[in-house]
Amino acid sequence: MKGSCAGGLTLLSLLALPCGLLAGGSAFGDLSGTAAPENFQPAPAASAPAPLRVAEAEQYLPPDNNEPGFNWPPENKAGPDGDFLHTRKTPTYLKASEAGSETLTDGFGRCRLEADTLYKLRTAPVFEGQHVIADLETPLPGCAFTRGYVYLPHISSTSAGGLWELPVNVRAFLDTLAYAEGTNEHYNFLFTFVTFKSYADHPRKLICSGGLCSTAAGRYQFLSKTWDPLAQDLGLPDFTPPNQEKAALELIRRAGAYNNVANSAVYANFSKAVAKLNTIWASLPGSPYGQPTHPLANLWTVYKAALAGYK
């Protein structure tokens, strides 16, 4: 068959296109019977998934007021005998490094500190991460060094002050609060249990996880926007553990909860203190921030155990 423009088209004529039938944008579609509609629009590109909604952590900062609180002793705790470190009821070690004591050798890497013993220091104790750096006035028997690291949870008190200066009811309540916040004895925890080493200032590190972004830091998980005005009002020069204790007590005082905390061995006072503080610490029952909280009964059990440990 001989192809022409007037008659039917052979396959060869379609390929050759001698008559310009495909000059228009829809000519091939017309010939094949699949012409696109006049108002044809290409399908839109697939949209990117909606970003995860992230909330910023909140922490209520009560305004300063005349509520009663704890009267801290004078700043200089060294006294006539100078700076000191006192161990807890179990022996520990002065270590040449921050490494675990089980990895160090006796005499050169670690030296035993006896339980419930006061050690005089040449200089004021220095806080670093989860340790105190101590320079002993008297060398330990068989020890090649006098300056080293002591694991902070193994220390009951130092001349820097802090938790040990408080009444036992208050200490037990703060221990319970730290349990609720997930920090326990750690003063160097950030949100999500990331750690920091320097106590020169609040770390101010924003961490996002599980739809929440937070700058929470320290044993009592202070947000930076909470810490800054507290530190200014109280004249706190750094973020060391003793100053964290002072800031926590100030929040408790401003919330009108100190008398309840001071008498928290009575359940009614304990529960009232928790109710007054749940807008400051999101882990307490009744907190309005939508984060996981601990049942009051569970916290009461933790408190009683902590209090028993101080007696």
Q: Tell me the pTM.
A: 0.82
pLDDT, position 311: 86
Could you tell me if 283 and 185 lie in one domain?
yes
33 found inside a domain: no
pLDDT tens-digit readout, 180-223:
999 999 999 999 999 999 999 999 999 999 999 999 999 999 99
pLDDT, position 74: 83
Contacts of 201 by beta carbon, 8 Å cutoff, 6+ apart: 238, 239
pLDDT, position 47: 58
CB atoms closer than 10 angstroms to residue 118? 11
Could you tell me if 189 and 225 lie in one domain?
yes
Could you tell me if 204 and 304 lie in one domain?
yes
Active-site residue flag, 181: yes
Could you tell me if 189 and 228 lie in one domain?
yes
Could you tell me if 126 and 236 lie in one domain?
no
How does strand 118-120 pair with strand 84-87? Answer: antiparallel
Q: Which residues pair with 95 in a beta bridge?
A: 110, 149
Could you tell me if 149 and 173 lie in one domain?
no
Check which CATH number belongs to the domain holding 107 and give it. Answer: 2.30.30
Catalytic residue among 102, 128, 165, 181: 181
For residue 198, the enclosing domain spans 161-309
What DSSP assignment string belongs to the chain?
A: ----SSS---HHHHHH-TT-TT-STTHHHHHHT-PPPTT--PPPPPPPPPPPP-EEP----PPP-------PPPS----TT--EEEE-SS-EEEESSSS-GGGS-BTTTEEEE-TT-EEEBSS--EEETTEEEEEBSSPPTT-S-SEEEEEGGGEEEETT-SGGGS-HHHHHHHHHHHHHHT-TT-SSBBGGG-B----SS-----EEETTEEE--BTTTTB-HHHHHHHHHHHT--S--HHHHHHHHHHHHHHTT-HHHHHTTTSHHHHHHHHHHHTTT-TTSTT-TT-S----HHHHHHHHHHHHHHT-
Select from 103, 89, 264 the least CA-distant residue to 175: 264
Q: How far apart are CA 101 and CA 94, in angstroms?
A: 9
Could you tell me if 172 and 143 lie in one domain?
no
Q: Which positions of the chain have pLDDT values less than 50?
A: 1-38, 40
Could you tell me if 248 and 304 lie in one domain?
yes
Could you tell me if 139 and 231 lie in one domain?
no
Considering its fold, how many domains does the chain have in total?
2
Could you tell me if 291 and 223 lie in one domain?
yes
Could you tell me if 297 and 259 lie in one domain?
yes
pLDDT, position 219: 98
What DSSP assignment string belongs to 144-173?
A: S-SEEEEEGGGEEEETT-SGGGS-HHHHHH
263 found inside a domain: yes
30 found inside a domain: no
